[in-house]
């Protein structure tokens, strides 16, 4: 049984005070959804304050990125030890990191290994561009991102990994994939590649999320798919009612 997982990626939105206000608005209802794993990923500058608010609750806190080294001359970066002070989760290899900040499968692999070594749960993002999709390259891209991104990871740690399949053409565009198409990408390319790396038993334990224009009104379409275990939500995670609606849809999909 894979526990449904819903995470909000707030990207570069919200000062620390604004982040605390959004958590205050989310908390009462999000806190009641005990059957799903729910995670908030505010900007790094808000992690300490949001951590104080969430302390003692079952709502998880995640960073949006980190570097793979523990400390050193890496201006502007934050380390796994620093993330660990406040968070249990970290988003890695988001497409905005890959396309705007030069991240590669190799850097994502180093970061994923570092996250697991520090007992953090990595949410590893993968996904094809529109031109790759139109050129029939989705399978190649996805298989490569999974295989290279997760290279060298001990199969005993596999169940801690969360994969977010986020077709880049669906992120922030309002044009989500269909539930069926996203499910097929997981069933045909992601899960078999995970099985090749970790063995088929371990691959069955790994949660795979869909991300890309998930809203309260289309979330159920994804959560009803057998291979999709939740969602990584961008825009809609910034509005309390919308994110609560998505989390409630995830909880309802279990019944
Ligand atoms: C994301 O940034 O991970 C994302 C899925 O964004 P949105 O929900 O806004 O498409």
Which tens digits make up the pLDDT trace of 55-77? 999 999 999 999 999 999 999 99
Ligand 1 near 127 CB (within 6 A): no
Query: Is pLDDT at 41 greater than 90 in this prediction?
Result: yes
Distance of alpha carbon 123 from alpha carbon 9, whole angstroms: 11
* 41 Cβ contact list (under 8 Å, min separation 6): 7, 8, 9, 10, 61, 62, 63, 64, 89, 91
Closest ligand 1 atom number to CA of residue 235: 9
Residue 71 Cα to ligand 1 midpoint, Å, equals 30
Residue 173 Cα to ligand 1 midpoint, Å, equals 9
φ/ψ of 196, rounded to 5, equals -65, -35
The Cα-based distances of 106 to 65, 83, 147, 161, 224 in angstroms read 15, 21, 10, 17, 33
Query: Given the DSSP bridges, would you call strands 207-211 and 230-233 parallel, antiparallel or unpaired?
Result: parallel
Instruction: Give the model confidence (pLDDT) of 217-239 as tens digits.
Output: 999 999 999 999 999 999 999 99
Tokens 């139109």, located at residue = 134
Distance of alpha carbon 48 from alpha carbon 130, whole angstroms: 37
Which one from 96, 103, 128, 166 is the annotated catalytic residue?
Answer: 166
Ligand 1 near 232 CB (within 6 A): yes
% residues pLDDT > 90 (the chain): 99
Query: Is pLDDT at 255 greater than 80 in this prediction?
Result: no
* 88 Cβ contact list (under 8 Å, min separation 6): 60, 61, 62, 120, 121
Instruction: Give the model confidence (pLDDT) of 78-119 as tens digits.
Output: 999 999 999 999 999 999 999 999 999 999 999 999 999 999
DSSP type of residue 186: I
Query: Is pLDDT at 22 greater than 90 in this prediction?
Result: yes
Closest ligand 1 atom number to CA of residue 231: 5
Pocket test for ligand 1, best of 214, 218, 243, 246 (most atoms within 8 A of CB): 214
Query: Is pLDDT at 211 greater than 80 in this prediction?
Result: yes
Tell me, yes or no, if 34 is annotated catalytic: no
Q: Judging by beta carbons within 10 Å of its beta carbon (0-12, 13-18, 19+), is residue 110 exposed, middle or buried?
A: middle
φ/ψ of 200, rounded to 5, equals -70, -30
Task: Write the CATH number for 167.
Answer: 3.20.20.70
Residue 255 Cα to ligand 1 midpoint, Å, equals 26
Ligand 1 near 213 CB (within 6 A): yes
Give the other-Cβ count within 10 Å of 255's Cβ: 5
Which one from 94, 96, 103, 132 is the annotated catalytic residue?
Answer: 94
Instruction: Give the model confidence (pLDDT) of 125-170 as tens digits.
Output: 999 999 999 999 999 999 999 999 999 999 999 999 999 999 999 9
Q: What is the pLDDT of residue 1?
A: 85
Asked whether the whole model's pTM tops 0.95, one would answer yes
Please answer whether residues 237 and 243 qualify as being in contact, where contact means their C-beta atoms are separated by less than 8 angstroms: yes
Beta strand segments in 136-229, E: 162-165, 207-211
Give the other-Cβ count within 10 Å of 159's Cβ: 17
Q: What is the pLDDT of residue 116?
A: 98
Q: What is the pLDDT of residue 254?
A: 80
Residue 218 Cα to ligand 1 midpoint, Å, equals 14
Ligand 1 near 172 CB (within 6 A): yes
Average pLDDT over residues 119-126: 98
Pocket test for ligand 1, best of 166, 210, 222 (most atoms within 8 A of CB): 166
Q: What is the pLDDT of residue 222?
A: 98
Handedness of CA 7, 12, 16, 17 (dihedral sign): negative
Q: Count up the domains in the chain and report the number.
A: 1
As a whole number of Å, the end-to-end CA separation of the chain is: 13
Tell me, yes or no, if 166 is annotated catalytic: yes
Q: b or e along 188-227 (b: 16 or more beta carbons within 10 Å of the residue's beta carbon)?
A: ebbbebbeebbeeebbeebbbbbbbbbbbebbbbbbebeb
Residue 231 Cα to ligand 1 midpoint, Å, equals 9
Please answer whether residues 132 and 93 qualify as being in contact, where contact means their C-beta atoms are separated by less than 8 angstroms: no
Owning domain of residue 68? 5-252
């Amino acid at each position: 049984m894979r526990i449904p997982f819903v995470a909000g990626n707030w990207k570069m939105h919200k000062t620390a005070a604004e982040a605390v206000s959004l958590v205050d608005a989310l908390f009462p209802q999000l806190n009641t959804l005990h059957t799903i794993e729910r995670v908030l990923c505010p900007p790094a500058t808000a992690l300490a304050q949001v951590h104080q608010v969430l302390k003692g609750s079952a709502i998880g806190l995640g960073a949006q990125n980190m570097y793979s080294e523990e400390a050193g001359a890496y201006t502007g970066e934050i380390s796994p030890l620093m993330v660990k002070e406040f968070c249990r989760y970290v988003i890695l290899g988001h497409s905005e990191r890959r396309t705007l900040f030069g991240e590669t499968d190799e850097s994502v692999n180093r970061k994923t290994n570092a996250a697991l070594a520090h007992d953090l749960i990595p949410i590893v993002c993968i996904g094809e561009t529109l031109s790759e999709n139109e050129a029939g390259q989705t399978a190649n891209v996805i298989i490569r991102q999974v295989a290279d991104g997760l290279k060298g990871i001990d199969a005993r740690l596999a169940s801690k990994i969360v994969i977010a399949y986020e077709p880049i053409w669906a992120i922030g565009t309002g044009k989500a994939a269909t539930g069926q198409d996203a499910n097929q990408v997981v069933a045909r390319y992601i899960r078999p590649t995970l099985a090749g790396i970790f063995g088929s038993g371990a691959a069955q334990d790994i949660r795979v999320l869909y991300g890309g224009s998930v809203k309260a009104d289309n979330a159920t379409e994804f959560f009803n798919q057998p291979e999709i275990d939740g969602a990584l939500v961008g825009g809609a995670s910034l509005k309390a009612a919308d994110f609560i609606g998505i989390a409630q849809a995830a909880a309802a999909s279990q019944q």
